[in-house]
Structure 1
């Protein structure tokens, strides 16, 4: 048993025309897996603010219509994360790799046909039956 406290992450299901945005992770825990844009919730920040900030920092995209979704509780790679998921729309623009030390590339995928392997928190909610309302 470790004395570390769980961290809070925010995963953003960015939706456009029935597709969701995933990035191939590298350089951090979950390297080699496909995950949503997102990151750590900062002190005093709302979940929606975190979602907008992280998507902009990682992809250059601006999101709208942010709505709260589900959550996961995962222990993996020696870390414990509670990840809060939100769904959002992105009406225009293409994602850019703005943090190349963390992401190899971005792609749009159907929720019913996600690539593998998936980042653990995303796999957890997908396997539990979560489906973003916008897909």
Structure 2
């Protein structure tokens, strides 16, 4: 999911928490997007995109492919950078701050079916029509939807 490790992470002995970088994937199929219901202290029971933390030296695309594969078993293709958001979670029990890179991708094989490979972090994956998304959405995604953001290519 978007934030699979939680809480502030000190950097090289610094005194306070530092922002972390996450990568979230708008995995599209037709006019639907893949969402999972989070099991986490951060955004528990909200619907979110697959994704996770960027590892040292990793490209955004490599992170997107790795996280989607780890969480859903799906292989993705045709990845494209969409946007970046700044997400401080200051009012959470464990305050944190994430800069999230959003990637758009398609299934490598359209016949693939998502599996729930991390049941301790997600209640399951399903495809949702962009115009009929489930509630509640994870707040960074909710903010994007409310702003009119559309992850689908303009035809």
Q: TM-score when scaled to structure 2?
A: 0.81
* Aligned residues between the structures: 134
Shift of 1:81: 0.9
1:1-135 matched pairs, under 5 angstroms: 3-76=16-89, 77=92, 78-90=95-107, 91-134=110-153
Could you tell me which runs of 5 or more consecutive residues in structure 2 were left unpaired when the two chains were aligned.
1-14
Q: TM-score when scaled to structure 1?
A: 0.92
CA RMSD of aligned residues (A): 1.6
SS of residue in 1 equivalent to 2:151: coil
Could you tell me which runs of 5 or more consecutive residues in structure 1 were left unpaired when the two chains were aligned.
none
8 Å CA contact 1:12, 1:51 repeated in 2 = yes
Question: Runs ≥4 in structure 1, deviation > 4 angstroms?
Answer: none
Structure possessing the higher radius of gyration over alpha carbons = 2
More helix by share: 1
SS of residue in 2 equivalent to 1:112: coil
